[in-house]
Amino acid sequence: MSRTTVATIHLGALRHNLARVRALASGARVMAVVKADAYGHGLERVARALDSEAEAFAVAAIADGLRLRAAGHRQRIVVLSGPDTPADIAEMQRLKLEALIHHDAQLPWLARADAARGALTVWIKVDTGMHRLGFAPARAREVHALLTAMPAIAPEVGLMTHFASSEEFEGRDTALQIQRFREATDGLEGPRALSNSAAVLGWPDARGDWVRTGGLLYGLSVVEGRSGADFGFRPAMTLTTRLVAINQLARGERVGYNGTYTCPEDMAVGVAAIGYGDGYPRSAVQGTPVLVNGQLAPLVGRVSMDLITLDLRGVPDARVGDRVTLWGAGLPVETVAAAAGTISYDLTCGMTRRVLFVDDEG
Ligand SMILES: *Cc1c(COP(=O)(O)O)cnc(C)c1O
């Protein structure tokens, strides 16, 4: 028996989720966000699964665009942080990658770009309140005019903004950002793309011509207290391992590094072959849910590099070799993330190289 931790990637779930995004986004085109190795699910595998349905892919780095082109994908690919150096421009033209323009430093690079290398499609990023990337709203018109006049720039210039708090459906921040974006871009030609996953769920006003969804494609939600499943999405990753030992411990015995868990009674403690060396979060607290043969076996003691320890009192039939599920169908990764003080995206992105990835058509 192998001790390997397995991340099973459900290709059918990816396709289901994209169809669900499309239904929610009623009419908008879907830019499938596959940055960070498709949120840890594997860039090439996810792109292959979504190829016939996604009108565009979005990545964070030119290198990911290169991987997608090398794998044969022909659709539009947007690099969400744009060119970082003047040399990036020619590379983006060569690969037909679309550029995000968010800063004055990029403008002279574009002005000098060689039109003979092919027209570069660009999107202007307007900073409506996130204060990360983007031009101030008051500059959107001027930048739009500058770009449309440049010889190497394709005539259709897109307009984007990004929300800081779109998962707060009751908050005012997103409404204000939508309003600022409208005012800044009113009357300008070009497609609009505002919504990330949470905005697709909660802010129909922000739909625009394109939605840029990452999390929901993987069945992940960042809405407090709600999993992707609560919105009709299916988890695209199931993370599993095996029980490698079961110890019968006496009341008062302590478990793991620094003995942070004390057995309240004589009990069975299971040891499962996964740890932070695989990407299971070290910050997961005592009581974080884990399933053994589908039954609840809460985490006890510290997460170590290769192993975790589990309270087996609720699983009296557990045997060495039994399957342990860390997240997936039946145990939302959002629940585990909350117990580890983080978000689901952080966990799926954190799978390490020793995790074995297996494709599942379902
Ligand atoms: C990552 C990212 C997205 C996707 O966000 P999700 O919450 O995963 O849908 C959209 N737009 C930009 C600019 C991003 O960086």
Does residue 214 have its Cβ closer than 6 Å to ligand 1? yes
Residue 102 has a pLDDT of: 98
Residue 3 has a pLDDT of: 63
Mean pLDDT by 10 residues, the chain (362 residues): 84 98 95 98 98 97 98 98 96 98 98 97 98 98 98 97 97 97 98 98 95 98 95 98 98 98 98 98 98 98 98 98 96 98 98 96 92
Domains of the chain: residue spans and CATH: 11-220 (3.20.20.10), 237-360 (2.40.37.10)
Closest CA to 107 of 63, 152, 58: 152
Query: What are the tokens at 44?
Result: 């090439």
Catalytic residue list: 35, 257
* Residue of 212, 213, 217, 343 to test ligand 1 pocket, by largest number of atoms within 8 Å of CB: 212
In angstroms, the CA 249 to CA 256 distance is: 12
Length of the chain: 362
Q: What are phi and psi of 290, to 5 degrees?
A: -140, 150
The region that residue 307 occupies, defined by phi over 0 for left and psi between -120 and 50 for alpha, beta otherwise, is beta
pTM over the 0.95 mark? yes
**174 C-alpha vs ligand 1 centroid, how far in Å?**
15
Residue 149, classified by CB atoms within 10 Å of its CB into exposed (0-12), middle (13-18) or buried (19+), is exposed
Q: Residue 222 CA: which ligand 1 atom is closest?
A: 7
**101 C-alpha vs ligand 1 centroid, how far in Å?**
16
Going by their DSSP bridges, the two strands 299-300 and 308-311 should be labelled as antiparallel
Q: Is residue 254 part of an annotated ligand binding site?
A: no
Q: Is residue 67 part of an annotated ligand binding site?
A: no
Residue 4 has a pLDDT of: 83
Cβ atoms of residues 239 and 356 within 8 Å: no
